[in-house]
Amino acid sequence: NAGVMQNPRHLVRRRGQEARLRCSPMKGHSHVYWYRQLPEEGLKFMVYLQKENIIDESGMPKERFSAEFPKEGPSILRIQQVVRGDSAAYFCASSPPGKSNTEAFFGQGTRLTVV
Amino acid sequence: AQSVTQPDIHITVSEGASLELRCNYSYGATPYLFWYVQSPGQGLQLLLKYFSGDTLVQGIKGFEAEFKRSQSSFNLRKPSVHWSDAAEYFCAITDSWGKLQFGAGTQVVVTP
């Protein structure tokens, strides 16, 4: 059973470009969470999704950021018109359906660098 | 509102010595608590978790943690550290949705 897969592992974008980060949850997992880790800081919750639904996006910046988890395929975190301050590690985690308080498994992260 | 505090940003410990990392939480009900470890450039690995029951929780890599409701604490301990334990450690709490709120982390340096 493969773990949570994130790609790419490293992404370099110029200011103003778009960044797309992908997350394939563990097999059988239908809950996906995105977190952001800014340099020298802890992880901050961004968004919680289930298949085709955004459950909680209270941690998402109001502009330029969006997330989806379609019926088929990976979850996507999309950042439009990136700025230097978006440079961070973005982690995805997944957990199985049915239980609200259970272990979330993390991917290796995507390290975004905006130049 | 729930919150997690890790008072120590940085700890240096000698190899073979004991280690204790502090974690304090604020939560209105029974918390669900976790300790994760992050090696440089890597993702997070779960060390242990507390949901209910026995307040002394055993985890992987020889770590344990004790939940103390009276002190709102969930401190992580290891009797004898190894050089490979050098990493950053995060305490986290989860709400009813399962999303995690992390502490700021404690960087552990292990000296020979």
What pLDDT was estimated at residue B52? 81
Terminal-to-terminal C-alpha distance of chain B: 42
Tokens 């999303």 found at = B99
Q: What is the C-alpha separation between B50 and B34, in angstroms, rounded? A: 6
Span B43-55, pLDDT tens digits: 899 999 998 888 8
Contact B46 A56 (CB under 8 A): no
Span A64-104, pLDDT tens digits: 999 999 999 999 999 999 999 999 999 999 988 775 556 78
Between strands A75-79 and A65-68, the pairing is: antiparallel
What pLDDT was estimated at residue A102? 67
Tokens 């980060």 found at = A21
- Smallest Cα distance from A83 to chain B, Å: 22
Q: How confident is the model at residue B94 (pLDDT cuts 50, 70, 90)?
A: confident
DSSP string, A49-61: EETTEEEE-TTS-
What pLDDT was estimated at residue A100? 55
Span B59-80, pLDDT tens digits: 999 999 999 999 999 999 999 9
Tokens of B92: 């986290």
Average pLDDT over residues B76-92: 96
Among B41, B51, B90, the residue with its CB nearest the CB of A43 is B90
**Residue A1 above 60 pLDDT?**
no
What pLDDT was estimated at residue A28? 87
Residues in a beta bridge with A10:
A111
Span A4-43, pLDDT tens digits: 999 999 999 999 999 999 999 999 888 999 999 988 778 9
User: Cα B23–B24–B27 angle (5° rounding)?
Assistant: 135
Q: From the centroid of its chain, how far is CA A51?
A: 14
What pLDDT was estimated at residue B109? 97
Q: What is the C-alpha separation between A49 and A31, in angstroms, rounded? A: 6
**Residue B97 above 80 pLDDT?**
no
Give CA torsion, residues B78, B9, B57, B41, to 10 deg: -80
What pLDDT was estimated at residue A101? 54
Q: How many CB pairs under 8 A join A and B?
A: 58
Among B51, B100, B103, the residue with its CB nearest the CB of A45 is B100
Question: Which SS3 state, helix, strand or coil, does residue B63 take?
Answer: coil
> Are B87 and B37 in contact, with CB atoms under 8 Å apart?
yes
- Smallest Cα distance from A12 to chain B, Å: 16
Q: What residues of chain B lie within 8 A of the CB of A91, using their CB?
A: 43-44
Q: What is the C-alpha separation between B105 and B87, in angstroms, rounded? A: 10
Q: Which residues of B1-29 are buried (b: 16+ CB within 10 A; e: fewer)?
A: eeebebeeeeeebeeeeebebbbbbebee
